[in-house]
Every structure is written in structure tokens, then in C-alpha cells.
Structure 1
Amino acid sequence: MTLKYILPVLFFALFATSCSTDDNEDNNTGTVNEVAGLLKVTELNNSTHTIELFNTSGMFYTGYNNISIRIKDNATDNYVENATATWMPVMQMPTMQHSCPKSAITKAVGKETVYNGFIIYQMTNTDGSGWSLTVDYTIDGMDYTATDTITVMQSAMQNVTSFMGSDNSRYVVALVEPNNPIIGINNLKTGVFKMENMMSFPTIENYTLTLDPRMPGMGNHSSPNNTDLTYNVADTMYHGNLSLTMTGYWVLNFKMLNEANETLKGEDVTENNIQSSLYLELEF
């Protein structure tokens, strides 16, 4: 084949390659994939829609789960842009059932078809069973629901704890950040929730979590420049500074104080008391 025929063929091949579906495009629609970088955890289905649930790991774990949601119209394969939705996770126990802390579902910032929220699973069965999830949603004035069992695996670290406070109320405290700890000062973020009833766990405002991080494998030493966690109205979470001086296994010891500065749970770490009864763990 002469050069004058080869060049057009090569040009056509390059042009065709450049026009192929991009990794950031949805294969069904050719539009930008708004869940690029996320992994699908599961789907909830009914005869009209498919509810797709995504996060960064592709699994639900005990503790804080940030979840992205899309609602697909089964008839058209298009994703819904104008839905309002709520959800209800339920854990089925042998003699009872209960829910867990969860956020509202809101439209993800800068997204057309993605909705976002979080669920904090405070426990699970050893095989990941026991939980179901129901999503109720409205589109153009029509109400729908989808529900199914889900799998929730046990996290390797204690990143959530449920306990009875000295005020005879049950609380849930969960680690939200840091996701990728560093040596130095980390933004420590936790959620603090109170069990109003078996299905309602509202955020508690204006408490304090005193912080004392320790390394049990290194003489239980602490670190400098930590600050206690206080309530942030902007995101309804508790924020403080966590100083990590080296990599390894850390125990984050807390005391939870109410608005009257009364200790509801936890103790100071001393030579005779090496760990608070209220703690979370991280390792990096």
C-alpha cells in the first residue's frame, strides 16, 4: 500500500479512537458519569425504578458510610434528576428491630442525577446479615418505595461505639475523619447521636468530647497539640485536632460531657487506668 493510502487509514483510526466512549462517560447515555471513582454497593429494585447505591469501597461497613444514590427509570434507562427521598435502615434482632443514625438525602453538589447522605451502622452479624434498607421517594408528585436486605461487614477497627450514658440515655459516637491519617495534625471529625427511640437517632448539639490519643504498643504514650471536639453547626458534626506523632495503632480515648459539663461516659487515662471506656481506634 502506498503512503498516500496509509496516511488516511491511520488518520481515520486515530479519529475513531479519540471519539470512543470516555471512561468518565456513562456507557448507556454517552453523558458524563456522575459516579466516576465510586463503586456500586448494591441495588434496590421495584417495577418502576432501580435505586443504585455507591461509595468508595463497594461495601457497607460498621461505622460511618458516605453513600451516593442514583434512581434509574427502568423503562428508559435514564437517571432521575428531580426526586426527593428518605431512607430507613433496619437491623433485625432475634426479639426486636432497630435503626441507626442517618442523614437526610440531599442532591449532591454539582450533580444532576446523584443524591447523597450517610448511614452509621453501629453493629452487624458476623456474616454481614441482619440489615435491610428501605428508600421512599417521590418523583413528579408520585410516591414510590424500594426495599431489600443489605450486607454490612464488620470494620477492622472500632470506628463506632454505642453505649448507655450516666443519664440513662443511649448514645452512638462514630469516627468520620480522618480517612487518610498523616503524621502531624489531623482534622478529627465524629458524629454524636442520641437514641430517641428504636428508629430515631438525632444528632446531639453542644456536648464536648475530650480527647486523649494513646499508642498502647509504645508505652501508651500520648501526643502534643490535641484539642477537644466541639459541635460544628455547619455540618452537625464534632471537630477537634488529632496529633499523630508516628504510624501505628492508636486508641482515641474520650470523655463525653453534656452542656452542664457533666461526664456522661469515659474516664481520664492514668497510670492505673490505661484506657477510657469510651474510645475509638485507628491505624495507619
Structure 2
Amino acid sequence: MKSKFNIIFNSALLIIYTIVSILLFAACNKREEANPTPPAPAAVKIAEGYAKGADVKIEVWANEELFTGYNQLLFALYDSNSGKRITESHIRLNPVMHMKTKSHSCPKEDPDKTAVNELFTGFIFFTMPSNDKENWTLETQVHNLANHKFGTAVFDIKVAETVVPRKRVIRKDGAVYWLGYYFPEKMKAGVNTFEIVAFTKSKDNLSFIPAEKLTMKFSPEMPAMEHGSPGNENPSHSKGGRYRGKVNFTMTGDWRLNLDVFDGENTSLGKHFFDVTVK
């Protein structure tokens, strides 16, 4: 009798254990579905760390490794206690090149205070590459609007010189201009919106400011095929030293963006170009 009871009791325990295991497995799956791992904001994680005073974890992302020229950077901010994404914050960027005898900054644009798709977007125009004895740091100051705390994180970053130049330096009558380019979307055959970005030094020579009074005449060409394209628009100033235009790539391959640059309407700053590859 006892043996029969034990068999029934053990069978009941096994059934209960099986049901509980199934329920726990289902609950875990639901939690995983409710909190999926977020996709990477971009192709390359540049750095990560904590702005401790603000209780914020910072991830810095970019679409490619950092280079001399105009770089877009994406900042993902997390509450360092809860792990939740932060979508409103003041972020101030301070890139610094540390050289043997001096240090200097470079042109930059701080992100807006409100994130788009949980990401804060900023831009930095690196004027020179890193090397074994000279390096860049990126000081990122954060004002966490959720708790009104301030904090700073400092990242060591590497900046490479590109094989095909992505910046131009123009010197004219004591003034210096830095030009770069930016495509908001991946380049493709057809009409593309693009931006030429331009910066200069302030009158006291201590900071970089947008060059907002330039005029540009633009013509693309495909050197290997010896032809240009119709339907292009000269870059015109939109804001903050950004000059927005349109280029019509009629086919894939190597293209040259030719620019005739003027300070105002009449003072020529010379002819310049950027080479790009459309895939």
C-alpha cells in the first residue's frame, strides 16, 4: 500500500515540477521579448564610460573609425543605476589634441538636448591624426535633466589620416578655413543631398567658429569617364557653417566634387575638391 502511495506521490510531484518548469520558461521568454537587446546604434563603438557625478553611462558610436575631417558621433546615455535610456540631457563636447609642447581643440557641434531614437548626435572636425606621441581625448560633459546632476567623462580616442583626403585647409590673407563634407544618407547612384562644412578661427584666435559667409560653385565629375552630370545644386548656407547642396551621381564609381570657393561674393579662396566613391 505504501509503495503504491509513493508511486502516486512521486508521479504527482513530477507533474507539478514539469508544469512549474514550463511556466518559468514561458515567463523568462516573455521577459526577454519585452526587453530585447537593443541594436547597435552604429557600426563602431568608439568609447564607453561613466559621467559619475551625473549618474550616467555614456556610449560613443560612429559609422566608421574616426578620421581627419568631419565625423558624426552618436551618444547613447543610460541611467547608471537603473540602466534605462536617457532621452533629455545637455551634452558638451571638448575634443583636445595633446601635443609635445601644447594642446589644442578642433571644430565641433554639440548634440541637441533631446535625443532622436534615443540617440544624441554631435559632430567633430578632427584637424590632425593621432600618433604614438600625440593623442586626442574627448571630454564629454553631461547635465542629466532627469536628476539635474552634472558629470564628466574623458575618453582616449584614436583618429586616423585617410588615404583619400576628407578635409581641406584654405589659407588666405592670414585667415584659415577648414572644409569637409558630409552625406546624411549613404551615397547612391542618383540625386544625393550633401553638405560642405566650413570653419574658421575666431578673431582672438582662441576658438573655432562656423564660416557662414562663403559662396560656393559646385560641379561633379567622373575623371575616369571624363564626364560630369546634370541636375546639381550649389551648396548654400543653412546653419552653423553647413552648406547644403545636391549632387547627381549618374552611375556608381569614383567621383570628384569640385568646389570654387569665395569669401562673400567676390574674394576667391581658390578651387578645391573631394574625391568620393559611390558603390
Among 118, 124, 140, the alignment partner of 1:135 is 140
Residue in structure 2 matched with residue 52 of structure 1 by the alignment: 59
Structure 1 residue ranges without an equivalent (≥5): 27-32, 267-277
Where do 1:1-284 residues align within 5 Å?
A: 15=26, 19-22=30-33, 25-26=36-37, 33=38, 36-38=40-42, 39-45=44-50, 47-48=52-53, 49-57=56-64, 59-111=65-117, 114-125=119-130, 130-139=135-144, 140-164=147-171, 166-177=172-183, 179-196=185-202, 200-219=207-226, 221-233=227-239, 237-266=242-271, 278-284=272-278
Residue 21 of structure 1: SS of its match in structure 2?
A: helix
1:167–1:264: 8 Å Cα contact kept in structure 2? Answer: no
- CA change 1:24–1:203 in 2 (3 A) is farther
- CA change 1:62–1:21 in 2 (3 A) is farther
The structure having more radius of gyration, on CA atoms, is: 2
**Letter matched to residue 150 of structure 1:** I
- CA change 1:44–1:170 in 2 (3 A) is farther
- CA change 1:44–1:161 in 2 (3 A) is farther
d(CA) in 2 for partners of 1:21 and 1:56?
A: 28
**Letter matched to residue 131 of structure 1:** W
d(CA) in 2 for partners of 1:73 and 1:79?
A: 6
1:97–1:198: 8 Å Cα contact kept in structure 2? Answer: no
Q: Which has the higher strand share?
A: 2
**Letter matched to residue 103 of structure 2:** Q
d(CA) in 2 for partners of 1:100 and 1:152?
A: 13
Q: Which has the higher helix share?
A: 2
Identical pairs, percent: 26
d(CA) in 2 for partners of 1:43 and 1:241?
A: 35
2:51–2:152: 8 Å Cα contact kept in structure 1? Answer: yes
d(CA) in 1 for partners of 2:25 and 2:163?
A: 48
When normalised by structure 1's length, the TM-score is 0.74
- RMSD of Structure 2 on Structure 1 (CA): 3.3
d(CA) in 2 for partners of 1:251 and 1:134?
A: 35
Pairwise CA distance, 1:283 = 0.6
d(CA) in 2 for partners of 1:128 and 1:175?
A: 28
d(CA) in 2 for partners of 1:68 and 1:216?
A: 34
1:67–1:118: 8 Å Cα contact kept in structure 2? Answer: yes
1:51–1:69: 8 Å Cα contact kept in structure 2? Answer: yes
**Letter matched to residue 168 of structure 2:** T
- CA change 1:125–1:186 in 2 (3 A) is same
Residue 246 of structure 1: SS of its match in structure 2?
A: coil
